[in-house]
Amino acid sequence: MDLVTIASALVPTALLIGFGALLRRQGGFGEPFWVGVEGLTYNFLLPALFIVTLARADFGSVQVGTMALVLAATTLVGATVTTLLRRVATDDGPAFTSVFQGAIRFNNYVGLVIASTLFGQQGVALAAFANAVMVPIVNVLSTFVLARHGHAEIRGVGVLKAIATNPLVVSCLIGLGLNLLRAPTAPVLGAALPAAVLGIAAATLSILGQAALPIGLLCVGSGLRRPEGGAQARPIAVSTLLRLAVMPATAIALTHLFGLRGDAAVVALVFLSLPTASSAYVLARRLGGDAPLMASITAVQTGLALASVPAWMLLGQAFG
């Protein structure tokens, strides 16, 4: 993999994000429009992509267990280090929730586009699997941190409900479940539902899923906000250092430690070096975090990731 290949994956991604930012500022589309599109993408389009891709994926030749171990372990290391550095980042509880989300969450849309550009359908399947492993972990951790340090009063059942009803968590579980049950249950499913009905359902979800990536990237661009500076500088710096430096460095170390190789290793490194998710702003706003700080962290990381992601990919290849 050379710099040209990496650029072919990143440049179109950056252009779509930039186009989304331009549409937000000069396209005549107001806040209600973007809120609606973001909700459509997060709740329906991306889950449709996850279900279909995971259900159809062939992981027989992939080190699935090792990949899951690297993804989960790196995320947990990042969460632990972030917690230990809480007082370094900020003394404010809601602000810390944004630092935490900025450090461990990842931009699904950017990762999927990069993986699909590099490896085609196999890349999409690996990216979907990465989401299946990481989405539940980061959502559980983020929800608990927001429940403890955010403004909103969310406890006990409320925390569990927020996790259990997350559309990305649910869709990943459905997709993996269908994949695991596909072969042994094919005759049963075929008897219960005509093949044509199953085919139509799969085709419909596929069409919905195809819309997730371009629309998702436009939403990423529309959600970027200019950093305010001042009191935000230290939390932004700590969160960005953790997300764009500590996490990918840990990923490379654990990839070698556990012996992960090939396309799976590349996709794992991509997802662990991505900027934080634009959906983190939505979660911060809903569960009492510092939403303005979260928006600033997202903007800074997205801009810097255009240089840091290819650098880590080349470094990972050099040590591969």
Per-residue pLDDT tens digits for 218-273:
988 887 877 776 789 999 999 999 999 999 999 999 999 999 999 999 999 999 99
CB-based contacts of 208, cutoff 8 Å, min separation 6: 44, 45, 48, 49
What is the predicted pLDDT for the residue at 1?
A: 62
All residues at 6 or more sequence positions from 212 whose CB lies less than 8 Å from its CB, including other chains: 41, 45, 46, 48, 49, 109, 112
pTM summary value? 0.85
**How much is the average pLDDT of 121-138?**
88
More confident residue, 266 or 153: 266
Confidence band of 104 (pLDDT split at 50, 70, 90): very high
Residue 127, CA distances (Å) to 10, 64, 248, 263, 269 in order: 15, 12, 16, 10, 11
- pLDDT at residue 2 is higher than 70: no
Rounded to whole angstroms, how far apart are CA atoms 43 and 171?
Answer: 10
d(CA 320, CA 259): 10
Percent of the chain beyond pLDDT 90? 40
Average pLDDT value for residue range 185-211: 70
257, 57, 46: which is closest to 265 by C-alpha? 257
Per-range mean pLDDT, top range of 50-64, 148-162, 241-255, 279-293: 241-255
Copy the structure tokens of residue 277: 């998710």
Work out the average pLDDT over 113-125. Answer: 88
**Residues 190, 198: Cα–Cα separation, whole Å:** 8
Question: What pLDDT, in 10s, does the model give residues 36-67?
Answer: 998 898 889 989 988 888 888 777 767 889 99
Distance CA 141, CA 8 (A): 34
Higher-confidence residue of 261 and 154: namely 261
Choose the CATH number for 3-318 among 1.10.1660, 2.60.40, 1.20.1530, 1.10.3470: 1.20.1530
Cβ distance 302 to 220 under 8 Å? yes
- Show me where the domains of the chain are located: 3-318
- Tokens encoding 91: 């003394």
Query: Distance (Å, rounded) from C-alpha 239 to C-alpha 236?
Result: 5
Contacts for 301 with CB less than 8 Å, ≥ 6 apart: 102, 239, 240, 243, 244, 275, 276
Using the structure block, give the residue that is written with the tokens 């994926």: 57
Among 31-45, 73-87, 280-294, which range has the highest average pLDDT? Answer: 73-87
Tokens of 285: 């706003």
DSSP-derived secondary structure letter, 42: I
What pLDDT, on the 0 to 100 scale, is given for residue 216? 85
Q: Please say whether the beta carbons of 307 and 170 come within 8 A.
A: no
Among 166-180, 182-196, 264-278, top mean pLDDT goes to 264-278
**Polymer length of the chain:** 320
